[in-house]
Amino acid sequence: MRQQDENAMRRAIELARAQHGRTGDNPSVGCVLMSADGRRLSEGATGDGGRPHAEQLALTQFKGKLPVGTTAYVTLEPCRERSTGEASCSNRLIKAGVARVVVSVMDRHPKGAGGKAAIESAGIDIATGFLEEEAAFLYEDFFASLG
């Protein structure tokens, strides 16, 4: 599982890196959805201007119901709340039925932070800090702008 985790998170980081600097005030996030048997189901990165969010895009691009045991690999903690009033990424992952979420960097934004707690309270396994050193550069400017 460790190699699959590394490969999937590195792909998520690659997706986020490709959008870095194109997402307006929002951070560039990458998300990869993987089946329990190691198939890549879908992926996404934060859209130009900051929307849609990576998780939203990856979930929307996958047609049908996610297979049991799906893991979401996300470079930044899935948001707890959206400024637009849309469903948060943490709630989208919960409703989609993911079994596990692997996060690289924890969010410090007041509306973003707390997604981990929402996911945990839904009974979903969540691991944080995975390949954090490789993804941290993506969020330096975003966190600095929070003051």
Closest among 104, 114, 45 to 81, alpha carbons compared: 114
The phi and psi torsions of 78 (rounded to 5 degrees) equal -60, 135
DSSP count for the chain of H helices, then E strands: 6, 5
Catalytic: which of 55, 132, 133, 140? 55
Task: Find out whether 66 and 41 touch, Cβ atoms under 8 Å.
Answer: yes
Catalytic annotation present for 55: yes
Give every CB contact of residue 64 below 8 A, 6+ residues apart in sequence.
none
Q: Which residues are marked as active site?
A: 55
